A and B are shown apart, each in its own frame.
Chain A
Amino acid sequence: MGKVFRFQKDVDTDQIIASQYLLFPTIDEMKVHTFESLNSDFASQVKPGDFVVADENFGCGSSREQAPSVLKALGVKAVIAKSFARIFYRNSINIGMPVIVSKELYDAVEDGDDMELDLQAGIITANGKEYSCTKLPSKMQEILDQGGLIASLNN
């Protein structure tokens, strides 16, 4: 069980983590600034196991991998959106953070709602209802299953 942090459409990676923090030495130093421009309390309020839920085209803009990395470092369990921009989507899978397409969830939940995700079954439960998620392409599921792309280099 985790809480929903809900965001609108076209959230770009500058909003997830702004440019002025990208050259900080580590992701841990950056993560306290996550979503600073949209919800300045996000980094202090989000708890491991919580979820980011968004409208269309989440993660558009810059290729900065710091965007999914700060979300993962804060313990976000998954990002569920109506659709994703492609570089953010690919980066998330590469670092082992689930990104899930659901056309229904955004309109069915509010900020602060509780929800559950069964990643293996592809089922989201929120407000007493179940929602199925779109499956990852098999190539990407394989990368996610092994814990990210780098894991394959160390095998």
Chain B
Amino acid sequence: MGMTMAEKIIACAAGKESCRAGDIETVTLDRLMSNDGTTHLTIDMYNNLKNPHIADVDKLVWIIDHNIPADSPKTAASHKKMRDFARENGITFYEGEGVCHQVMMENHVRPGELIFGADSHTCAYGALGAFGTGVGCTDYLYAMVTGTSWLLVPETIRFNLTGSLKHGVYARDLILTIIGRISANGANYKAMEFAGEGLKGLSIADRISICNLCVEAGAKTALMEVDDVALDYLKEHGREPKAIYKSDDDAVFSEVFDIDLNEIEPIVAKPHFVDNVVPVKECEGIEIDEAFLGSCNNGRIEDLRVGASVIKGKHVADKVRFLVVPASREVYQQALKECLLDIFMDAGAMVMNPNCSVCWGACQGVIGEGETLISTGTRNFKGRAGHKDSFVYLASAATVTASAIKGYIVTADKI
């Protein structure tokens, strides 16, 4: 009986020939990412250990991205704790360089790796064929101290993609459609694997966008087959794969979905659940107060190009704040070179430093009582972007930008 990608990566990390869904394995982690959402608590726990030590400091990557620049003295104190600890212990450290997952994709993730991230969207790393999974700070600390952890080997849901996305339809529309179909816990404890001819036509940006959001269906990880598109990205960023795996032909999947990309339409996720999806046209006309183009899901150069092409020569609606937040310094500088930021600024958008921004809802661009945001962020939970009685719709970069121009939810073909 064959093995899935997830089983192969875990078997390798466990030093075994094989493992099966349902097994519990002790694994050695390849990399450990943590950000300012929880690291201050990890450090407190570390300092309270009887014998604090770090198993392999070279595997640790710490990134301040959620509340950067600091919004309050309390945040500044938590950042200082993290910054000082990273420096004292020689931990690879980024601050203000971008959203953690984008920084990881640009600098660290390699196919075949098993990566713990103290952030739920760590499943994004599957875009490069790595098993990334989100953990809390206790799991993180245990792995930091021992270099190991335990994992329940997940079952895999396989998505065979065929065809290609139509003009005006994006990876965001695809993954929202899938989450709507399988529901917010449809992949709980499972791996979501994407393969097939349709994958070849998707850029790395598209692939990150898809894998990143799989946790919104409850997935433990997301995985994509590694092809030339992924290898080219790695090469451009100066890295080699650890190992390239694909599921065997006789691997066992818990479910298989065949998805024809040609059938995907522009989608929005309505408040307050990511699986609450409808075609954009069903929400057309809903007035907005703010629009957000950015995040680990849709803040890459490809997304900024889409937004800029929609808004070039147009203007943001009078009553709307439009926040444009490149996902990393690399993305920001590329957007500068391509004069995309000029286009957004000329249109009346606010261009912010790379950070999690309003997707995290705690430092920048938060919305007030009764206000509505349309966002390329990751979540639309109640209060996610600010006041508990506010509303977040999730959509593609094109739909978000078009809505910023009109002041109400609309697809880009109406501009």
| A and B associate in one complex | yes
| Interface residues in chain A, defined as those with a beta carbon under 8 Å from any beta carbon in chain B | 10, 12, 14-15, 18-20, 22-27, 36-38, 56-57, 60-66, 68-69, 83, 85-87, 90-91, 94-95, 137, 139, 148-150, 152-154
Known contacts A19-B362, A22-B362; decide if A87 and B134 are in contact (CB<8 Å): yes
Asked whether, in the complex, the Cβ of B136 is within 8 Å of the Cβ of A91, the reply is: yes
Q: Is the CB of A85 within 8 A of B185?
A: yes
Contact between B142 and A150, CB atoms less than 8 A apart: yes
Residues on B facing A (Cβ under 8 Å): 24, 36-38, 40-41, 44-45, 49-50, 66-67, 74-75, 77-78, 118-120, 122, 134-139, 141-142, 145-146, 150, 152, 184-185, 188-189, 215-216, 218, 220, 273, 360-362, 366, 379, 381-384, 388
| B185 contacts across to A, CB distance below 8 A | 10, 56-57, 60, 83, 85
Say whether, besides A10-B184, A24-B74, A139-B150, A64 and B136 are in contact (CB < 8 Å): yes
Given contacts A85-B185, A154-B49, A154-B50, whether A25 and B74 have CB atoms under 8 Å apart is yes
Q: Judging by beta carbons under 8 Å apart, are B188 and A65 in contact? A: no
Cα separation A95 to B142 with both chains bound (whole Å): 12
- Greatest chain A CB density within 10 A among B50, B120, B122, B366 is at B120
Q: What residues on A are CB-neighbors of B41 within 8 Å?
A: 27, 65-66, 69
Which residue of chain A has its CB nearest to the CB of B49?
A153
- Given A62-B120, A66-B38, A14 and B384 touching (CB < 8 A)? yes
Q: Which residues of B contact A38 (CB under 8 A)?
A: 382
Query: Does the CB pair B383–A25 fall under 8 Å?
Result: no
Q: How many angstroms between the C-alpha atoms of A19 and B273 in the bound complex?
A: 17
A-B contact pairs, 16 of them (CB 8 A): A14-B383, A20-B362, A24-B74, A27-B41, A60-B218, A61-B216, A63-B38, A63-B118, A87-B135, A91-B136, A94-B136, A94-B142, A95-B138, A149-B138, A152-B142, A153-B145
Ranked nearest first, the 5 interchain pairs of A and B with the lowest CB-CB distance are: A65-B136, A91-B136, A37-B388, A19-B362, A94-B138
Q: Which of A22, A87, A153 contacts B142 (CB 8 A)?
A: A153
A residues near B139, Cβ cutoff 8 Å: 90-91, 94, 149
Closest Cβ–Cβ distance, residue A139 to chain B (whole Å): 5
Known: A20-B362, A23-B74, A24-B74. A57 touches B381 (CB 8 A): no
The secondary-structure label for the interface of chain B is loop
Specify which chain B residues have a CB less than 8 angstroms from the CB of A12 in the assembled complex: 379, 381
Q: Within 8 Å CB of B379, what residues of A? A: 12, 14, 61-62
Residue pair A14, B150 in contact (C-beta under 8 Å): no
- The reply to whether B188 and A150 form a contact with Cβ atoms under 8 Å apart is no
Q: Which residues of A contact B118 (CB under 8 A)?
A: 63
* Measured CA separation A94–B149 after assembly (Å): 12
The answer to whether A19 and B361 touch across the interface, beta carbons within 8 angstroms, is yes
B29 to chain A, nearest CB (A): 15
Q: A59 to nearest B CB, angstroms?
A: 10
Whether A150 pairs with B136 at a CB distance below 8 angstroms is no
Other than A61-B120, A87-B134, give 14 A-B pairs with Cβ distance below 8 A.
A19-B66, A23-B36, A61-B216, A63-B118, A63-B122, A65-B136, A83-B188, A91-B135, A94-B136, A137-B24, A150-B45, A150-B142, A152-B142, A153-B145
* Contact across chains for B388 and A36 when beta carbons are under 8 A apart: yes
B119 — nearest CB in chain A belongs to which residue? A63
Across the interface, do B188 and A86 meet the contact criterion of CB distance under 8 Å?
A: yes
Q: How far is the CB of B386 from chain A (nearest CB, A)?
A: 9
Q: Are A25 and B40 in contact (CB under 8 A)?
A: yes
* Chain B residues in 8 Å Cβ range of A14: 361, 379, 381-384
Q: Which residues of A contact B38 (CB under 8 A)?
A: 22, 63-66
Q: Which residue of chain A lies nearest to B76 when distances are taken between CB atoms in the complex?
A: A23
Q: Are A65 and B381 in contact (CB under 8 A)?
A: no
- State the Cβ distance, B377 to closest chain A Cβ, in Å: 12
In the assembled complex, the CB of A21 is this many whole angstroms from the nearest CB of chain B, namely 8
- Bound complex: CA A137 to CA B50 (Å): 28
B40 cross-chain contacts in A, Cβ below 8 A: 23, 25
| In the complex, residue of chain A having the shortest beta-carbon distance to the beta carbon of B82 | A23
Out of B136, B145, B215, B366, name the residue touching A90 (CB < 8 Å): B136
CA gap between A85 and B275 in the complex, in Å: 15
Contact B383 A90 (CB under 8 A): no
How many angstroms between the C-alpha atoms of A61 and B326 in the bound complex? Answer: 23
- Expressed in whole angstroms, the Cα–Cα distance for A85 and B361 within the complex equals 22
Please judge, given known A-B contacts A20-B361, A23-B36, A137-B152, whether A90 and B135 are in contact too, CB under 8 Å. yes
Report the nearest B residue to A22, measured CB to CB.
B37
Are the CB atoms of A86 and B218 closer together than 8 Å? yes
Q: Assess whether A10 is in contact with B273, with CB atoms less than 8 Å apart.
A: yes
Closest residue of B by beta carbon distance from A95: B138
**Which residues of chain B are within 8 angstroms of A19 by Cβ–Cβ distance?**
66, 360-362, 384
**A23-B67 contact in complex given A60-B184, A87-B120, C-beta closer than 8 Å:** yes
Q: Give the complex CA separation of A69 and B40 in angstroms.
A: 14
Q: How far is the CA of A86 from the CA of B120 in the complex (A)?
A: 10
Q: List the B side residues contacting A63 at CB < 8 Å.
A: 38, 118-120, 122, 134-136
Contacts of B382 in A (CB 8 A): 14-15, 37-38
List B contacts of A22 (CB < 8 A). Answer: 37-38, 362
Cβ-closest chain A residue relative to B72: A23
Taking the closest CB of chain B, its distance from the CB of A22, in whole angstroms, is 6
A57 cross-chain contacts in B, Cβ below 8 A: 184-185, 188, 218
